[in-house]
């Protein structure tokens, strides 16, 4: 028998209260000289003894009632039933997050401790938590076999599927009494971030042994991720922008972040760090050579959580020209009224170096284009929308620039899911532009650290956008309405600008900031999703027949001393593939697909950086809202049943009903006895 709320059992000491009350209020014998003593029969001596006995029984009954009430509140339930052998399941996290700092060794040691505390009659199942959805649970024949199973375990470098492992263990245990010991490093395991609910039955006890945490990290550990501002670049000075996100996992006060390619360091910046906080910065550089350029972001002198070698890898693709199509929704003879005129003019200013721009009056065939700008759209045919959707899904960028002539009744159905927001109508009134936090990061190159730099952009009218949930709002009007909304669609992006870029609503096209803003908008157009160029270790790659994955390649920056290549490869690298493969080791890989060879940057799991210094309390808070609750124990976290599971436990194996029946019987007995005693 076990208790859902075992801590309540301490209150059974309250059973002493009836005993104390009985002792305090017991009848004290009075001694009297009484002339009528002769009328008291001798049989009354026995009645007195009987009364004393009844009072003692009543006292014990009341003490038992109190104790039973406490036990009922503690929710007892059966943990063993006839013919059921208790089972202990040991799930040892073998994912990549267990590699640093000797975590895996500690996990194995913790597993051995658990094994040492188990009774010999208990069945032991051992499983390695990896990236597979349902790990194999091997039953150990005896203690020696269990030790051998533990000794053969190695971290596989993949992403640990803890929820899958837990579900497998629960499914294997069924309704049998069991205990699941999950041994992992909560920091970076990704477990707390999961939204899945593990339906652990009430007969099962879940104990999470945290062998990681901030304690095993070096004091200056900093998490690091980076993202290219644009997936494809054209050769030119300052064409490279990399957004870097830093998570302080230790006590670093400031760090220096460096980006380098094979030729040497491109940029280096020092950024202050807050304790357990996050910092962002943008590194810039110039890539002049057309082709795929491996880039490495490093923090010299500071170990990172993400990689053992302290490097985040990127692949930038430099192309000669970026082809854009600008569709003029309603051409006008007056340039000031033409919605595409000033955009074309701005692109023409730089088209000689980077952009090849085609002006169209309808949606052209989109093959060969990286971006599509639709200025002042009125209505789009279904076939055109279908072509645009395919274009965006395959990695193209779409920018829709609204103007006062828009008709929401026609525009919204035509754009459908392409638009990141819906248009409600045109709103007249003077507004200015301002960048959101996300926009400030995106447009940091033109804002120069001043968030109000865009306030020079004044407009006499703007479109009302709605239903922008799920999209990223980069710019807002001064009245806080969305001005520029972006959403990822497939591998491309779709953006919606809620005002016109012509002279009909203001003089912004004449302002110096107009040209760089258009350039940034276009850059964002072909930033797209760079998943095709970067991967996470352990993530599955969908490869077709004949595809080849080679690596990790012996690439290093010119100052390679600061970021050495990881040793060795893995079983999946360099093998002809026709299915799912994984790159287990960080590095640059060469992916050959349909006679095309691309460079692939493989980095560690970003979730490891996104979850700074997890503690037991963090886990509680993260999963506290779900049906699974955890609380800290002496050696880890132990599961507490949720309300629904309590009901299930009571219905299936709980002894609460029997407690209530017993309490009722005792109450009836108590009433009868107290009546009998009071009559005496």
Partner 1 sequence: MPATQRDESNLLDAGVLARIRGMDLLARTVVEGFVLGLHRSPFRGFSVEFAEYRPYVPGDDIKHIDWRVYARTDRHYLKLYEEETNLSCQLVLDASASMGDTPAGPVSKLGYATRLCACLAYFMTRQRDAVGLTIFDRKVRQTLPARLRSSHLQRILSELESCTAGAATDLAAPLHQAAEVMERSGMIMLVSDFLADLDGLEIALQHLRHVGHDLIAFQILSPDEREFPFEGDVEFTDPETGLVRRVSGRSVRDTYRSALAAHQERLATILAGARVDHVLIGTDEPLQVALAAYLHRRSLRPS
Min dist CB 208 to partner 1, Å, is: 60
Handedness of CA 119, 3, 83, 180 (dihedral sign): negative
Q: Which of 6, 48, 353, 667 binds partner 1 (CB under 8 A)?
A: 48
Count of residues touching partner 1 (by CB under 8 A): 24
Nearer to partner 1, 25 or 594 (CB): 25
Min dist CB 29 to partner 1, Å, is: 5
- Enumerate the β-bridge partners of residue 489: 492
Q: Which of 47, 197, 262, 558 binds partner 1 (CB under 8 A)?
A: 47
Nearer to partner 1, 37 or 121 (CB): 37
Round to whole Å and give the CA distance between 278 and 274: 7
Min dist CB 34 to partner 1, Å, is: 4
Min dist CB 49 to partner 1, Å, is: 9
In angstroms, what CA-CA distances link 282 with 245, 343, 357, 599? 9, 26, 28, 23
Nearer to partner 1, 42 or 567 (CB): 42
Contact positions with partner 1 (CB under 8 A) in 649-678: 678
Where does residue 527 rank: exposed (0-12), middle (13-18), buried (19+ CB within 10 A)?
buried
- Interacting residues of 643 by C-beta distance below 8 A, sequence separation 6+: none
Contact between 324 and 522 (Cβ < 8 Å): yes
- Please name which of 463, 505, 501 lies closest in space to residue 483, comparing C-alpha atoms: 463
Nearer to partner 1, 32 or 510 (CB): 32
Locate tokens 């302002």: which residue? 511
- Contact pattern from residue 85 through residue 114 relative to partner 1, giving x for each residue in contact according to CB under 8 A and a dash for the rest: ------------------------------
Round to whole Å and give the CA distance between 188 and 191: 8
Min dist CB 668 to partner 1, Å, is: 23
In angstroms, what CA-CA distances link 564 with 532, 554, 560? 24, 10, 6
Nearer to partner 1, 41 or 264 (CB): 41
Site for partner 1 contains 595 (CB under 8 A): no
Nearer to partner 1, 31 or 470 (CB): 31
Min dist CB 46 to partner 1, Å, is: 10
Triad 233, 234, 238: Cα angle to 5°: 80
Contact positions with partner 1 (CB under 8 A) in 16-45: 27-42, 44-45
Triad 174, 175, 178: Cα angle to 5°: 85
Q: Which of 3, 9, 11, 51 binds partner 1 (CB under 8 A)?
A: 51
Min dist CB 48 to partner 1, Å, is: 5
Min dist CB 674 to partner 1, Å, is: 13
Round to whole Å and give the CA distance between 46 and 190: 74
Min dist CB 675 to partner 1, Å, is: 12
Nearer to partner 1, 30 or 567 (CB): 30
Structure tokens at 142: 């005896």
- Contact pattern from residue 305 through residue 334 relative to partner 1, giving x for each residue in contact according to CB under 8 A and a dash for the rest: ------------------------------
Structure tokens at 86: 């208790």
Round to whole Å and give the CA distance between 213 and 516: 45
DSSP element (H, E) containing 338: none
Nearer to partner 1, 335 or 680 (CB): 680
Min dist CB 678 to partner 1, Å, is: 8
Nearest-Å Rg of the Cα atoms of the chain is 36
Nearer to partner 1, 40 or 667 (CB): 40
Min dist CB 62 to partner 1, Å, is: 19
Q: Which of 83, 264, 367, 679 binds partner 1 (CB under 8 A)?
A: 679
Instruction: Report the 10 Å Cβ neighbour count for 467.
Output: 14
Q: Would you list the DSSP string of 504-549?
A: TS-SGGGSTTHHHHHHHHHHHHTT--GGGTEEETT-EEE--TTEEE
The H-assigned helical ranges of 278-424 are 341-351, 382-393, 408-415
Nearer to partner 1, 27 or 195 (CB): 27
- Contact pattern from residue 260 through residue 289 relative to partner 1, giving x for each residue in contact according to CB under 8 A and a dash for the rest: ------------------------------
- Contact pattern from residue 599 through residue 628 relative to partner 1, giving x for each residue in contact according to CB under 8 A and a dash for the rest: ------------------------------
Nearer to partner 1, 348 or 672 (CB): 672
Nearer to partner 1, 49 or 382 (CB): 49
Min dist CB 43 to partner 1, Å, is: 8
Residue 368 backbone class (left: φ over 0; alpha: ψ -120 to 50; beta: rest): left
How do beta strands 422-435 and 371-375 pair?
Answer: unpaired
Contact between 146 and 110 (Cβ < 8 Å): no
Min dist CB 57 to partner 1, Å, is: 16
Nearer to partner 1, 30 or 119 (CB): 30
- Please name which of 545, 543, 628, 529 lies closest in space to residue 590, comparing C-alpha atoms: 543
Handedness of CA 139, 143, 147, 152 (dihedral sign): negative
Locate tokens 């940057």: which residue? 601
Residues that bind partner 1 (CB under 8 A): 27-42, 44-45, 47-48, 51, 678-680
């Amino acid at each position: 028998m076990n208790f859902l709320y075992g801590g309540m059992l301490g209150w059974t000491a309250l059973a002493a209260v009836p005993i104390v009350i009985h002792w305090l209020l017991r009848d004290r014998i009075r001694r009297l000289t009484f002339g009528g003593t002769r009328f008291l029969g001798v049989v009354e001596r026995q009645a007195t003894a009987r009364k004393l006995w009844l009072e003692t029984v009543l006292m014990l009954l009341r003490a038992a009632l109190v104790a039973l009430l406490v036990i009922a509140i503690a929710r007892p339930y059966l943990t063993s039933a006839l013919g059921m052998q208790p089972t202990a399941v040991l799930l040892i996290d073998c994912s990549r997050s267990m590699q640093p700092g000797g975590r895996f060794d500690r996990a194995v040691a913790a597993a051995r401790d658990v094994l040492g505390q188990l009774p010999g009659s208990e069945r032991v199942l051992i499983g390695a938590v990896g990236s597979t959805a349902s790990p194999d649970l091997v039953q150990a024949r005896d203690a020696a076999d269990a030790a051998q199973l533990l000794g053969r375990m190695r971290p596989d470098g993949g992403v640990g599927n803890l929820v899958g492992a837990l579900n497998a263990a629960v499914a294997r245990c069924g309704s049998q009494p069991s205990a699941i010991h999950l041994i992992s490093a909560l920091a970076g395991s990704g477990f707390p971030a999961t939204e899945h609910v593990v339906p652990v039955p009430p007969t099962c006890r879940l104990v999470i042994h945290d062998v990681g945490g901030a304690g095993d990290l070096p004091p200056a550990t900093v998490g690091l991720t980076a993202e290219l501002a644009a997936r494809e670049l054209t050769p030119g000075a300052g064409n490279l922008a990399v957004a870097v996100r830093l998570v302080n996992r230790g006590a670093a006060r400031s760090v220096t972040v460096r980006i380098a390619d094979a030729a040497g360091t491109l940029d280096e910046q020092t950024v202050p760090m807050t304790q357990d906080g996050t910092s962002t910065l943008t590194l810039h550089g110039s890539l002049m050579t057309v082709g795929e350029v491996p880039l490495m972001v490093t923090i010299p002198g500071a170990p990172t959580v993400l990689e053992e070698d302290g490097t985040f890898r990127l692949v930038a693709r430099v192309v000669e020209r970026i082809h854009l199509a600008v569709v003029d929704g309603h051409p006008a003879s007056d340039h000031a009224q033409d919605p595409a005129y000033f955009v074309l003019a701005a692109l023409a200013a730089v088209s000689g170096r980077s952009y090849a721009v085609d002006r169209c009056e309808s949606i052209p065939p989109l093959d060969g284009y990286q971006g599509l700008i639709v200025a002042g759209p009125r209505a789009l045919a279904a076939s055109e929308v279908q072509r645009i959707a395919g274009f965006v899904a395959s990695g193209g960028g779409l920018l829709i620039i609204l103007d006062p002539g828009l008709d929401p009744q026609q525009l919204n159905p035509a754009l459908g899911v392409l638009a990141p927001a819906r248009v409600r109508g045109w709103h007249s009134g003077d507004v200015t532009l301002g960048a959101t936090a996300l926009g400030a990061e995106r447009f940091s190159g033109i804002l120069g650290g001043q968030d109000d730099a865009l306030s020079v952009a004044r407009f006499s009218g703007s479109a009302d956008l709605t239903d922008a949930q799920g999209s990223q709002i980069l710019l807002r009007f001064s009245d806080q309405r969305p001005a520029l909304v972006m959403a990822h669609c497939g591998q491309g992006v779709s953006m919606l600008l809620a005002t016109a870029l012509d002279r009909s609503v203001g003089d912004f096209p004449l302002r110096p900031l107009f040209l760089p803003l258009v350039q940034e908008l276009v850059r964002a157009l072909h930033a797209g999703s760079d998943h095709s160029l970067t991967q996470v270790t352990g993530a599955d790659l969908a490869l077709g027949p004949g595809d080849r994955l080679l690596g990790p390649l012996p690439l290093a920056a010119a100052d390679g001393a600061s970021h050495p290549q990881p040793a060795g490869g893995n079983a999946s690298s360099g093998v002809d593939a026709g299915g799912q493969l994984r790159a287990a080791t960080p590095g640059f890989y060469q992916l050959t697909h349909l006679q095309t060879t691309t460079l692939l940057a493989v980095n560690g799991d970003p979730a490891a950086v996104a979850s700074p210094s997890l503690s037991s309390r963090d886990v509680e808070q993260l999963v506290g809202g779900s049906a699974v609750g955890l609380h800290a124990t002496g050696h880890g976290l132990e599961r507490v049943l949720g309300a629904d599971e309590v009901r299930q436990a009571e219905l299936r194996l709980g002894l609460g009903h029997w407690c209530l029946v017993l309490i009722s019987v005792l109450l009836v007995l108590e009433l009868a006895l107290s009546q009998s005693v009071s009559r005496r």
